[in-house]
Structure 1
Amino acid sequence: MTTAARAPRDGRPEPLTVDARTEGGRTLLRARGELVQGCTDLLAAALAALPPDTARVDLDVTGVVFVDTAGLAVLDTLRAYGRRRGVPVAATGWRGQPRRVLELTGLDAVDPLRGGLPADLPARTAGAVARERAEQLDVLRLEIAQLRQALDSRPVIDQARGVLMAAHACTAEQAWEILREASQRTNTKLRQVAAAVTRSAVPGGAAPPEPLRSALAAAVRRVSTAARDPRESCDRSPARAGRRAAG
Structure 2
Amino acid sequence: MTSAASPHLTGGLDTLVIPGRVDADRAELTPRGELVHGCADILARTLAGLPDTVTRVDLDMAGVHFMDTAGLQFLDVLAVHGRQRSLTVTTANWNGQPRRILELAGLDTTDPLAGPGTAGAVSAVTPPAAPASSAVAMERAERLHVLEEEVEQLRQAIASRPVIDQARGILMATHGCTSDEAWHILRETSQLSNTKLRDVAAAVTASAEADGPPPSPELRTALQRAVARRRRG
**Deviation of 1:57 (Å):** 0.6
Q: How far apart are the structure 2 equivalents of 1:141 and 1:100?
A: 23
> Which residues of structure 1 form unaligned runs of 5+?
155-247
1:105 aligned residue: 105
Pair 1:151-2:153 in alignment: no
C-alpha RMSD over aligned residues: 2.8
Report sequence identity in percent. Answer: 38
Q: Which residue of 2 aligns with 1:129?
A: 148
Cα deviation for residue 148 of structure 1 reads: 3.3
SS in 2 for 1:90: strand
**Residue 138 of structure 2: aligned partner:** none
Structure 1 SS opposite 2:33? strand
Corresponding residue for residue 66 of structure 2:
66
Larger radius of gyration: 1
Question: How many residues are aligned here?
Answer: 153
**Aligned position for 2:92:** 92
TM-score normalized with structure 1 length: 0.54
Alignment pair present for 1:81 and 2:81: yes
Q: Classify 1:65/1:122 alpha carbon distance in 2 versus 1 (closer, same or farther; 3 Å).
A: farther
**How far is the alpha carbon of 1:42 from its aligned partner?**
0.9
Contact 1:57 1:87 in 2 (8 A): yes
* Cα distance in structure 1, aligned partners of 2:93 and 2:144: 18
How far does residue 120 in structure 1 lie from its aligned partner after superposition?
4.6
> Shift in Å at residue 151 of structure 1?
3.1
Q: Is the 8 A contact 1:18 1:32 kept in 2?
A: yes
Structure 2 match to 1:119: 123
Measured against aligned partners, the alpha-carbon deviations of 1:115-170 in whole angstroms (never above 9, x if no partner) come to: 2146253465564132343475734444433333433599xxxxxxxxxxxxxxxx
Give a deviation string over 1:163-202, Cα, whole Å, max 9, x none: xxxxxxxxxxxxxxxxxxxxxxxxxxxxxxxxxxxxxxxx
Distance 2:11 2:89 in 1: 32
